[in-house]
Chains A and B, each alone.
Chain A
Amino acid sequence: MDAKKIREDFPVLQREISGKPIVYFDNACMTLKPRQVIQAMNEYYENYSACVGRSIHKLGNEATEKYENARKTIAKFIGAKKEKEVIFTRNTTEGINLLANSLNLQKGDIVLASDREHNSNLIPWQILGKKKGIERRIVKSKPDETFDIEGFKNMMSKDVKVVSIIHSSNLDGYTLPIKEIVDIAKDNKALVILDAAQSVPHKEVNVRKLGVDFLAFSGHKMLGPTGTGVLYGRYDLLENLNPFMVGGDTVERTTYDSFRLLPPPEKFEAGLQNYASMIGLAEAVRYLDRVGRENIEKHEKELSRFITGEMQGMDGLKIIGVQDPELRGGIISFEIDGIEYHDVAIMLDDQANVMVRSGQHCVHSWFNARNIPGSVRASLYLYNTKEDAETFIEALKTITKLR
């Protein structure tokens, strides 16, 4: 994999700010878009910007074909059995909210999660707890911040109806042992919802091999356009779910008193969809397939190892979460004693155009439970190079001198 060659496809990376190149290390939040994705979207707007699935004229047919091809491409990308298991959403958050509101959970049902869930996999269940009286259980991490599989096993029971859990954490990049989690959940007949927002873009994820029932991820974290996401669901489960949002395109027929829903995925995609962006997302998937996600994962780990090694020699710098870079993938979250995390982020940007995220990264619960006010997070992707990492380290070395 040639990261330097890949960079040529990204218009943003051709920019210089104040005479210096951009070092984009905020990929866990948003990735940059290659020309191919932008072109695919433009093609929709320039050549066939019509309604999908409704209009039977030539442009409508062309748009429908491209849109449904996008669904096929994405289904193949995650190893879904059929494309009808792919529901287009706006993002991971919408996917999880759709499930929380569509699964018919009752009072006393238990939803199990880890202690490092993103707010999007925490709040929907909290609200459901208040509305319907479902119970939530949180599996606490071990002292080294890895997942406590024994603790998880002990918490499982026949009352646990759903295990809604993160795959790779956005706070430190740690990937949970999902195969073991799924096996334990299945033994107890619990459904498994996987928040794969930080895993699908960076590593091979096959829904059938993992055995998950539902999986949600976002397009904007994998070179795709903003406002795109996917919810995968096993078809037999989707068939029995009631959509929580209905309207145009979700029904086969209606009378003044009744309606008949279309089969999945249509019944979950109410109203006119973001066609151009979904076609763009499929192009992003093709791009990632060409590069190969195993190559991306390897590349990110190499950079992460280098950065972690350099950081270990820096006075006052502490990596938070799981320490082993082999378990963390391409995310490095850290704090510098005596310098606030936002200060570090602003100074990295100001000194060397190094763009990172600072704060609690939408995992407030994890930070607050540990009394950590926040961290600086560097997250890598396929277009980051060793030179980027060196620039980042040099800027960090300068900043640590402020202590």
Chain B
Amino acid sequence: MSICVAALVVFAFMGVFSARYRYWAKEAFDCVGRRVTLRPCKTEFNQKVRAKITSKLLKKSQKAARFTHKHFEAISWVFTIILFVSLILTAGGLYNLFTYGTCDPAQPDSCIFTVQEGVCAPACMPCNCGPHEIGCDAPEYKACNGNCQCVCESMGSVTS
């Protein structure tokens, strides 16, 4: 059951980019649909995924393949839990991004992608930096510290 759910999410995403994975996504969807309605998984999806993964591992390491084959259900639960934790954290991060952007008003230098009006002025002028220095026109310096003074940074030292 667990691998069906994880596989559905992963293959559905990969299926956006490649038709090859749409078949697997469809099978996973069918499997999830049957399992949640307390029917046996008709497509033997779990088995197919287990055998495919074991077979790939068998070419690299027999021990790993044997371990995976024997404990596949447990491993698939671990991956499913990791997947859902990752999804929850990603959802939280996206919520924060849309709500607050990337700028922390208390620390304007954190505004890498988002420029907060009135806090940062993005108009840094290019400066003549040395060959081993990074100029303020580099993306890392797009947001300024409230002034337009150009800063060139080399390894460990800052020159104005």
Contact = CB atoms under 8 A, between A and B. Distances in A.
Interface of A: 339-340, 342-343, 346-347, 350-351, 398-399, 401-403
B59 A402 contact: no
A309 B54 CA distance: 27
Contact of B66 (A340, A346, A402): A402
B52 A350 contact: yes
Given A342-B47, A346-B52, A402-B54, 16 more contacts: A339-B69, A342-B44, A343-B47, A343-B51, A343-B69, A346-B47, A346-B55, A347-B51, A347-B54, A350-B52, A351-B59, A398-B58, A399-B58, A401-B66, A402-B62, A402-B66
A343 B50 contact: yes
A340 B56 contact: no
Interface in B57-86: 58-59, 62, 65-66, 69
A346 B58 contact: no
9 contacts: A342-B44, A342-B48, A343-B69, A350-B55, A351-B55, A351-B59, A398-B58, A399-B58, A402-B66
Contacts of A401: 58, 62, 66
B18 to A, nearest CB: 17
Contacts of A350: 51-52, 55-56
Chain B interface, DSSP helix/strand/loop, else mixed: helix
A340 B72 CA distance: 13
Interface residues of B, number: 15
A346 B59 CA distance: 14
Contacts of A402: 54, 58, 62, 65-66, 69
Nearest to A346: B51
Interface string B30-62: 000000000000001001101110111011001
B58 A351 contact: yes
A399 B56 CA distance: 11
Given A401-B62, A401-B66, A402-B66, A347 B55 contact: yes
Given A401-B62, A402-B58, A346 B48 contact: yes
Interface of B: 44, 47-48, 50-52, 54-56, 58-59, 62, 65-66, 69
A3 B74 CA distance: 46
A282 to B, nearest CB: 37
A266 to B, nearest CB: 42
Nearest to B57: A402
B24 to A, nearest CB: 13
A346 B46 CA distance: 12
A271 B47 CA distance: 43
A340 B70 CA distance: 11
Contacts of A342: 44, 47-48, 51
Contacts of A399: 58
Contacts of B58: 347, 351, 398-399, 401-402
A46 B56 CA distance: 45
A401 B61 CA distance: 11
Contacts of B55: 346-347, 350-351
Contacts of B54: 343, 347, 402
Contacts of A398: 58
Contacts of B59: 351
